[in-house]
Amino acid sequence: MLVATERNARRLTAACPQALKLGLAAGMTLADALARVPDLCVEEADPAADARLLLHLSDLALRWSPIVQPDPPDGLLIDIAGCTHLFGSEAALAADAVALLGRNLAVRHAFASTPSAAHALARFPVQASCEMQAIRRLPVAALRLPVEAETALRRAGLKHVGDLADRPTMPLSARFGKQATHALDRLLGRADSRLSPRRPLPALHFARRFAEPIAHVDSVLGAVDGLAAKASRVLEQRHQGGRSFAIRLYRSDGELRDLTIETGRPTRDPALLARLLRERVEALADPLDPGFGFDLIRFAVPATEPLGLLQADLEARGRQGEALSALVDRLSVRHGRERIRRLLPVESHVPERAVRSVPALGEARAEWPPPPTGEPPLRPICLFDPPQPIIVMAEVPDAPPRRFIWRGVNHIVVRAEGPERIAAPWWQKASEGRPTRDYYRVEDEAGRRFWLFRRGLTGREAAHPSWYLHGLFA
């Protein structure tokens, strides 16, 4: 027996078959239960653990259908339309589900044309010649109404769904609330009660079942390669590619193992996917353990993108881009998605905030703004963090630098452009630690170009402004 505090009292939340035979039931107070069975064995309920178990079971149920919805606290709704042929019949599919889930759980199932009807028939089994007749024989508890509404229905002599089915809707809503009529319409199929899958349906998915579980990693990888080749052919027909590929391995004892492959650009090359898959398996912190073997493998492409035929130019620059992308893919798979990163531009006038770091395999895409035609870049690629202090000689306090010393080396400035004034954001003041900066692009006698700035306005923000080297131009 499981107990929890409900409505300011310790109550039973679940009862085993032996307890049910002794007259105990969920909802009964613990004091009443102990009065009937003094040596009752109880445990504290753990709703969080139950929720985690239900989510795990919903993932496991994906072996029977891609559309699975958890139905708390202890139910699963599975849309098996178009899936029964994989098992031979509905009865064979149900037998497979009961055999797997029933190892450690008490399992009841039912088939119906709507999710609400299937849920009700599984919880309240009735004998009937057809589905509608069985639904009409269900108790009003199958509507899953609040205790007050269910009690009111019983007191009014409405004990079965059939007692409500033929009655006008308006009087029922006025007396028992709209929730009662909505639940009745869903149960009878009058209202839409479609499922909301826990996981979004992938653009493509393929599966391979094994009569005997396979327990060798090489055999598993070979089977995945076959599914990847099948997916590649379909993607080629559609002129599409994928950037993410999800592999789910179903162990015969009910354990699941997920593997994910990501690429920097759309692809449908099965050889590339096979190589990345082996890199992924070799980099696993927890080695792939087949246990008693895998009896089902699913290969999914969550989303697809257009991918036409590629033609490299005479200088093979397209192939160089492909080689770089392949290198990024391999490094990301081996060392982790978050370890290999790239920089993206951000709309900000503050140099330190004009860039952000994202995973190299991220979905975000942005191009760096090109410099004006015939002009050098306005901002350098390499920035120092923090900026490097320098000693500057200028003719007047607000004039461009004539020479500066950085790291003990004297640089004579032959060309200078600026200033480009960057002030603090409007919601901050210079006194809060963000003085105005005047930036200059300068070039020394050796042709090296630097990005310098003067920190603070002379006489207003600083008596003697300081100079810094913030970046180097290529």
Q: Interhelix angle for 169-176 vs 178-188, to 10°?
A: 130
Residue 370 in any domain: the answer is: no
Burial class (CB in 10 A: 0-12, 13-18, 19+), 428: exposed
Q: How far is CA 256 from CA 37, 103, 194, 285, 326, in A?
A: 40, 16, 27, 16, 29
Q: Tell whether 193 and 283 lie within a shared domain.
A: no
What are the tens digits of pLDDT across the range 227-277?
A: 999 999 999 999 999 988 999 999 988 889 999 888 888 889 999 899 889
- Do both 326 and 209 map to the same domain? yes
The region of weakest confidence among 51-65, 182-196, 226-240, 323-337 is 323-337
Same domain, 227 and 325: yes
pLDDT of 463 above 90 = no
Question: Minimum mean pLDDT among 61-65, 141-145, 187-191, 424-428: which range?
Answer: 424-428
Q: Are residues 138 and 153 in the same domain?
A: yes
Calculate the average pLDDT of the chain.
86
Structural domain span for residue 78: 46-109
Is the predicted pLDDT of residue 320 greater than 60, yes or no?
no
For residues 411 and 469, state if they share a domain. yes
Q: CATH no. for residue 150? A: 1.10.150
Last residue of a domain, one of 331, 362, 396: 331
Is residue 315 in some structural domain? no
Q: What angle do CA 358, 359, 360 make, to 5 degrees?
A: 110
Residue 346 burial by CB count (10 A; 0-12/13-18/19+): exposed, middle or buried? exposed
Domain count within the chain? 5
Cβ neighbours of 282 (radius 10 Å):
11
- Largest Cα–Cα distance in the chain? 102
Q: 68-111: per-residue pLDDT in tens?
A: 999 988 899 999 988 888 888 999 999 999 998 888 888 999 99
136 and 189 in one domain? Answer: yes
β-strand pairing of 304-306 with 240-251: antiparallel
The answer to the question of residue 193 being in a domain is yes
Which CATH number do you get for residue 240?
A: 3.30.1490.100
Question: What pLDDT sits at residue 25?
Answer: 84
Are both 146 and 188 inside the same structural domain? yes
Pair type for strands 9-14 and 2-6: antiparallel
Q: Cβ distance 283 to 335 under 8 Å?
A: yes
Q: Strand pairing of 43-44 and 2-6?
A: parallel
Q: Which residues on adjacent β-strands are paired with residue 458?
A: 462
324 and 301 both lie in a single domain? yes
Alpha-carbon span 328 to 289, nearest angstrom: 28
Q: Give a yes or no: residue 119 inside a domain.
A: no
CA–CA distance, 43 with 45 (Å, rounded to integer): 6
Cis bond leading into 73, ω under 30°? Answer: yes
239 within domain boundaries: yes
